[in-house]
Amino acid sequence: MVRRQRDTRSENLLYTLTVRYDRWRREHAGPASRREPRTRAILFGAGSAASTLLHSMIFDPRSRYEPVGVLDDDPARRGERLAGIAVIGSRADLATAVERTRATAVIFTIGNAEGSLVREIRALALAAGARFLVVPETSELLDHDLGAPDIRDVRITDLVGRHRIATDATAIAGRVSGKRVLVTGAGGEIGSELCRQIHRFGPAELIMLDHDEKALQAVQLSVDPRAEVHDPSVVLADVRDAGRVREVFRAREPEVVFHAAALQHQPLLERHPGEAVKTNVLGTLAVLEAAEDVELFVNVSTAKAADPVSVLGYTRRIAERLTAGFTDERTGTFVSVRFGNVLGRHGSVLATFGAQIADGGPITVTHPEATRYLMTTEEAVTLVLQAAAVGRSGEALVLQLGEPVRIDDVARDMIELAKEPIDIVYTGLRPGEKLGETLFAPGETDRRPHHPLIAHVTVPPLTPSHVSEAATLSDTRTLADLCTTPSLENRAA
């Protein structure tokens, strides 16, 4: 033990001397070989990511940063050296450390930190007069190890969307590895991320289905940049076409299905409820009826299906109930996964606010007290896969990350990041909108037996006959009634 400690101290000393020599060599290099001056930076977080990053910052010629200290809230790490750089304090010492080391940047190096911690350290760094930078989340580094070139400016998703998520990769792999997996709506925000993450678990076949040919090609290339346009992994089809859906299932025989195809633009669906029904209700029913022999069927739902008050919520709640209705007659597992707003690229509040800022404003917010549960696309899909591994037939798995966020705060954070004088205009809640977001329907109990971020609730089943009996599914009142109508079994009782 003593010898091992002595060897470790010797290695640390050698590394420190190497770092000092490299710094001296760069400072005294001749004009022809001298590089641009590096930005003096303090790292916050002394974990494994910091150690990897420090080595790259010091020795990678592309690095623009000179590490001058590390901060960490663990008092036991005070005085420790990472890659030759000393841990000089905690977050309480940030302002002093910036002044003493003459650092002009603070780099946040905790890749799986909560957004609240990112916001706090950012505020301290800016108050100390330092630029605030971050390293990407682990999910962003798909094809390489963390290095100095990955250091970037903070994004709004770092401030409101980062959450610490622990998953059981073995359980997820047990569901999809070596299986024929079909993803509907593969070209959408959630569907495309599902394809990317499922691909990493090594399915026997990944079948990507969508009616949008451009979106299909985009997701195909994001999964495999070398893919050919005639690759059989992509299937051009519309879930509204029940015959075509059955044809795909007969030909490809998927064992696992993630049903992510849906219309979800709430204000638009309020004006065109019949279109919402065709995709969200009848399209879901077409996929369910075709999925006779699957081992696992996951209906990707939304928090708006809990105690719904909009066409979007009604149609997604009916889809949840239809999914639950197939549990008795099928041997596979049929579940729904319900989550809040996703901070994606298309159609999200971030995309809307970003476009409004680029146009010079104003930013439109419905209500100053409106709140939503927010998560990034990567976080949502990671939890969808985890939920799929633990769900039981007839359940909806409710994903909850953090606390509700005021949309007004998101707008103000984006204005601050843009460094532009942008006004905010309050427009009032739109038809079918709530001030806050509901994750659970009345009577649903928040039980989390397998994962702290995944609640299990039982969904009352709805059989296809309920839908076929309806006189018109484009009528909002009819949709609302279908969300609460008893199952056939309950009516018979």
Q: Which two tokens stand for residue 134?
A: 């971050």
Q: What does the alpha-carbon distance between residue 63 and residue 236 come to, in Å, rounded to a whole number?
A: 44
Q: What are the backbone dihedrals phi and psi of residue 32, each rounded to the nearest 5 degrees, phi first?
A: -70, -35
Q: What does the alpha-carbon distance between residue 439 and residue 178 come to, in Å, rounded to a whole number?
A: 33
> Residue 329: what residue type?
E
Cross-strand pairs, 297: 257, 334
Cα 218–260–175 angle (5° rounding)?
A: 100
Q: Which of 179, 278, 304, 434 is catalytic?
A: 304
Start-to-end CA distance of the chain, whole Å, equals 73
The DSSP code sequence of 296-323 is EEEEE--GGGSS--SHHHHHHHHHHHHH
Residues shown for the chain? 493
* DSSP structure class, residue 478: H
Provide the CB-side half-sphere exposure for 313 (13 A, CA).
24
Cross-strand pairs, 71: 44, 89
CA-nearest of 416, 419, 377 to 189 is 377
Q: Which two tokens stand for residue 339?
A: 């989550």
CA distances from 274 to 400, 474, 475 (A): 30, 4, 8
Q: What does the alpha-carbon distance between residue 199 and residue 441 come to, in Å, rounded to a whole number?
A: 34
3-state SS record for 58-91:
HHCCCCCEEEEEEECCCHHHCCCEECCEEEEECH
Q: What does the alpha-carbon distance between residue 361 and residue 35 come to, in Å, rounded to a whole number?
A: 41
> Residue 22: what residue type?
D
Residue 304 annotated to the active site: yes
Residues marked as catalytic? 304
